[in-house]
Structure 1
Amino acid sequence: MSMHVPTRPSWVCAGCGHAWPCLDGRQQLKIEYADARVSLSVYLATNMVEAMTDLPAGSRGDLYWRFLGWL
């Protein structure tokens, strides 16, 4: 099991403390969802919407790039 998972409501990585999905988390997600890119997109979009409710309104503009832009 990956240590690079999000902690709520801060949405930082439990494994390294960087903004989730962190670099290591992204690599692990790519491997886990290697044959299911659409499922990965849905998973990340769902997390992005949840992060929008947890994080301050001022930080929401970057969430698309943080959660989906790297795909």
Structure 2
Amino acid sequence: MTQRHAPLKPLWVCTADLLNWPCENAKAELVADYEHDRRHLAVDLAALMRQATDDLTRLYSEPPDPAEMHIRFLGWLRSVRNV
């Protein structure tokens, strides 16, 4: 399924609303897309977090804060059931 709220790389903002990706709508789309394979959602988001960290480190003089990146990409998964 194609995400409407996809990441615009290398900036890692949402293509639909220009908020930091994953925005709330992207999270809902991801949960729906991974409905039957939620464990892989965490694995895929971890890989995307690594890509985003690498991209943002190249773009800006200050690298992104690792704790903030973790919260942004993985921290919200705790509130999703069956992940």
TM-score above 0.5: yes
Return structure 1 stretches of 4+ with deviation > 4 angstroms.
Answer: none
1:68 aligns with 2:74: yes
Give the aligned CA root-mean-square deviation in angstroms. Answer: 1.2
| Offset of residue 2 of structure 1 | 2.1
Partner of residue 59, structure 1 = 64
Name stretches of at least 5 consecutive residues in structure 2 with no aligned partner.
78-83
Q: What is the SS of the residue equivalent to 2:17?
A: coil
Percent identical across equivalent pairs? 37
What residue in structure 2 maps to residue 25 of structure 1?
Answer: 26
- The unaligned stretches of length 5 or more in structure 1 are none
Offset, 1:55: 1.0
Q: Which amino acid aligns with 1:55?
A: L
Query: SS of the residue aligned with 2:64?
Result: helix
The size of the alignment, in residue pairs, is: 71
